[in-house]
């Protein structure tokens, strides 16, 4: 399947990262054993942030990041333009996370995975903060995978719509539709959770 090069209009090319991306692609094409470390240095923070924000502080986070890097290293040779690297990394990361969400859903369906896997293990400062995270990600876990990803990228990671569309490999219109559906579904589900409902009402009042 031909690989689609994705351009990001969110982060304009800066000399530093672009140089690093160029160097990385050179390492890839020469089969240099330092490629893995160089790739992680360049996009490790981006991958971590994306996985973390879509799935929360998940206990399998590190394994997922590893999976993403396995996929990245497998396809890196096909990236020809250094400036397209970050967009491509986002797309691969989102694909991996989407597969994981779907896999979990199937496992849960057949009782092979406990609901505890959705627990958020972040050591947030207070119980209330932890509770808020757990409940928010609990609701997000009930959204369809595409809606959940669009919601997390747009609202939690605050990415521009164009970047969300590129990462999700869909059109702008599709991503808007998914966001709208995700918001409606999230509100409906959050209404059933007293803490989230109360919190949303407070935020509404503060508005």
Partner 1 sequence: MTDPLQRLAREVARNLGDGPGPVRRERQRAAVARLTAAPRPRREPNAWWLLPLAAAVLLAMFLARPATLSAPLTVTVAQQAVMVGAWLAAPEREALVLDFSDDSRAELAARAAARLTRAEPAHVELALERGTVTLHVVAVPDRAWSVSAGPFTVALTDADASATWISATATLIVEVHRGSVDVAGPDGATHLRAGQRLELRDRSAEPGLLARSDVPITPHANASPAPAGDLSAEAALLEASSGPTPAAAPSADAPLLEAQAIDRPSGPRASPPAASSSRSAARSPAANSSSSSAGSPAETAWIALAEAGDCAAALAAAERHGLSQLHATLAAADLDLLAHCARVAGDAPRARDALLALRRRFPADPRAHTAAFLLGRVALDLDRDPARAADWFKKYLSEAPDGALAADARRRLDELDALH
**Within 10 Å of residue 124's Cβ, how many Cβ atoms?**
15
Are residues 90 and 163 in contact, defined by beta-carbon separation less than 8 angstroms? yes
- Which CB, 3 or 45, lies closer to partner 1? 45
Contact between 156 and partner 1 (CB under 8 A)?
yes
Q: Three-state DSSP class for 197?
A: helix
Q: Which of the ranges 5-13, 101-109, 112-120, 166-174 carries the binding residues for partner 1, by CB under 8 A?
A: 112-120
Confirm if 23 and 41 have CB atoms less than 8 A apart: no
Nearer Cβ to partner 1 (32/83): 32
Task: Select the residue interacting with partner 1 from 3, 26, 70, 191 (CB under 8 A).
Answer: 70
The answer to whether 165 and 177 are in contact (CB under 8 A) is: no
**C-alpha to C-alpha distance for 98 and 146, rounded to whole angstroms:** 7
Give the list of residues 6+ apart from residue 147 with CB closer than 8 angstroms, or none.
Answer: 178, 179, 181, 182, 185
Residue 106 lies near partner 1 (rule: CB under 8 A)? no
Q: Quote the tokens at residue 145.
A: 């995978």
By CB under 8 A, tell whether 66 contacts partner 1. Answer: yes
Q: Which residues, in sequence order, are CB contacts of 48 under 8 Å at separation 6+?
A: 61, 65
The verdict on 95 binding partner 1 (CB under 8 A) reads no
Binding of residue 63 to partner 1 (CB under 8 A): yes
Structure tokens at 92: 């691969």
Q: How far is the CB of 194 from partner 1 (least distance, A)?
A: 4
Binding mask 179-198 for partner 1 (x = CB under 8 A): ----x--xx-----xxxxxx
**Please, which residue, 2 or 204, has the CB nearer to partner 1?**
204
- Cβ proximity to partner 1: between 2 and 31 the closer is 31
DSSP string, 60-83: THHHHHHHHHHHHHHHGGG---GG
Residues contributing to the site for partner 1 (CB under 8 A): 32-37, 39-41, 44-45, 48-49, 51-53, 56-57, 59, 61-63, 65-66, 69-70, 73, 114, 116, 119-133, 136, 151, 155-158, 183, 186-187, 193-201, 203-204, 206-207
């Amino acid at each position: 399947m031909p690989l689609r090069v994705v351009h990001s209009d969110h982060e304009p090319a800066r000399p530093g990262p672009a140089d690093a991306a160029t160097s990385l692609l050179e390492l890839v094409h020469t089969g240099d054993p330092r490629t893995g470390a160089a790739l992680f240095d360049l996009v490790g923070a981006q991958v971590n942030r994306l996985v973390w924000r879509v799935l929360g502080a998940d206990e399998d986070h590190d394994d997922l990041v590893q999976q993403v890097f396995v996929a990245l290293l497998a396809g890196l040779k096909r990236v020809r333009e250094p400036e397209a690297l970050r967009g491509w990394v986002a797309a691969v990361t989102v694909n991996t996370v989407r597969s994981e969400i779907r896999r979990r859903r199937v496992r849960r369906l057949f009782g092979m995975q406990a609901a505890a896997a959705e627990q958020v293990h972040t050591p947030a400062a207070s119980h209330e903060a932890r509770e808020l995270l757990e409940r928010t990600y609990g609701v997000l876990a009930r959204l369809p995978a595409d809606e959940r990803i669009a919601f997390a990228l747009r609202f939690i990671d605050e990415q521009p719509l164009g970047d969300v569309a590129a990462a999700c490999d869909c059109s702008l219109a599709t991503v808007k539709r998914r966001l709208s559906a995700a918001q409606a579904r999230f509100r409906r589900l959050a209404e059933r959770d007293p803490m989230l409902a109360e919190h949303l009402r407070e935020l509404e009042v503060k508005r």
